[in-house]
Structure 1
Amino acid sequence: MTISFNNHGTNTNTSDLIVLTQWMAGDCSNQKQAFVNPTQYAHIHIFSRLLPFEFSSGIGFYSCLIPRNGCQTHFVSELQLTENTWSSLSKGMDIETHEQVYCSTAEPLFFEKKQSFADEISVSNVGETLC
């Protein structure tokens, strides 16, 4: 399944947004990739959970990115999602200096979903916010 979004004023299918939200909701890690090639890939853990509608008046996530190398970074992402994976050509940027600390130069970072929170997302708590 491919879900495409743009900023050209076209309506996005509500069911596509629900699927995207379900795919994003989870606990993901690139542990396998990082352990196979630790000099090329930092071990990164991504945790994303849907926020209550009342908090953001729309679709919003609590997301936490935890690099396991001890560096505090923020993520700059080109992202591809499936139901159980994230693939990203990403850069880890130092939160104070904004200098690049790591990146996915050899190939994309590949995250596998360890736990899904998709069952917390439905038309009743996402779809109505899009109308």
Structure 2
Amino acid sequence: MESTSSPELLQMARWLAGDFSNQEQAWENPPFFASIRVAYRPLPTAVLGGIGFYVEQAYSGHLEEPYRQAVVELTQVGDGIVIRNYRPLQPQRWRGCARGRAEQLSQLSAADLAYLPGCDVQVKRQGSLFVGVTEPGCRCCVVRNGQTTYLQTTLHLSENEFCSHDRGMDPVTHRQVWGAVAGPFRFRKVVDWQAELLQ
């Protein structure tokens, strides 16, 4: 899983490395946005052979109980960047490692992960932003409340802000089934971990 670290890839990785909060957005519009924290903790280079992150997403009052755990890998493909998504095979083993037990992530290996086909996010630099969308094909399947949907993700990343909009779409009607209806979540970086990159 070797990846070439171009200047743009490194820039995106630096901006992504951190703990983000949408507290301001949640205060402004509580009916539509819960207060959420999302952490992108840099992984040791040996885990994926390049730039990777362990990701935890949790409600602000329950950081020890993340409702989403993932591993993402940043790779250069042509003139763009691809975010490859993986699912930890034993999520309970890594729970809490994004913030409190990051040293345990050195034990993580590619064998502990399942790649999620169809879920790559294709990213391009647009001015001062990195802008990404789920790869075409509607193949990133997510079962939510017994219903099969496909995930459609959009993201905007700047130096201090990360905006993401995850929506579950009906594979037949292509209408939204789950996800925020009031637009993307706006996260501000509250902890910076870029010093841990490429270690």
> TM-score under structure 2 normalisation?
0.46
Does residue 31 of the first structure (1) align with residue 23 of the second (2)? yes
SS of structure 2 residue aligned to 1:32 = helix
Aligned counterpart for 2:46 among listed residues 27, 48, 54? 54
Does residue 107 of the first structure (1) align with residue 191 of the second (2)? no
The residue number in structure 2 matching 1:78 is: 154
Q: Deviations over 1:36-82 (max 9, x none)?
A: 21111121101111101112222210111113487964495311000
Displacement of 1:14 in angstroms is 0.3
Q: Distance in 1 between matches of 2:190 and 2:19?
A: 5
The answer to whether the 8 Å contact 1:42/1:69 transfers is no
The answer to whether the 8 Å contact 1:40/1:106 transfers is yes
Structure 2 unaligned blocks of 5 or more: 70-150, 169-176
The alignment's C-alpha RMSD in Å is 2.9
SS of structure 2 residue aligned to 1:38 = coil
Identity of aligned residues (%): 33
Does residue 119 of the first structure (1) align with residue 195 of the second (2)? yes
If asked which structure has higher relative contact order (CA below 8 Å, sep 6+), I would say: 1
In 2 relative to 1, CA 72–39 (structure 1 residues): closer, same or farther, beyond 3 Å?
A: farther
The residue number in structure 1 matching 2:7 is: 15
Structure 1 unaligned blocks of 5 or more: 1-11, 93-98, 127-131
The answer to whether the 8 Å contact 2:18/2:191 transfers is yes
Q: Letter of the aligned partner of 1:119 in structure 2?
A: A
Q: Deviations over 1:81-117 (max 9, x none)?
A: 001000122248xxxxxx73xx332232100000111
In 2 relative to 1, CA 69–78 (structure 1 residues): closer, same or farther, beyond 3 Å?
A: farther
Q: Distance in 1 between matches of 2:68 and 2:192?
A: 23
The residue number in structure 1 matching 2:59 is: 67
In 2 relative to 1, CA 81–41 (structure 1 residues): closer, same or farther, beyond 3 Å?
A: same
Of 69-78 and 25-34, deviating more is 69-78
The residue number in structure 1 matching 2:142 is: none
Q: Distance in 1 between matches of 2:38 and 2:163?
A: 12
The answer to whether the 8 Å contact 2:37/2:60 transfers is yes
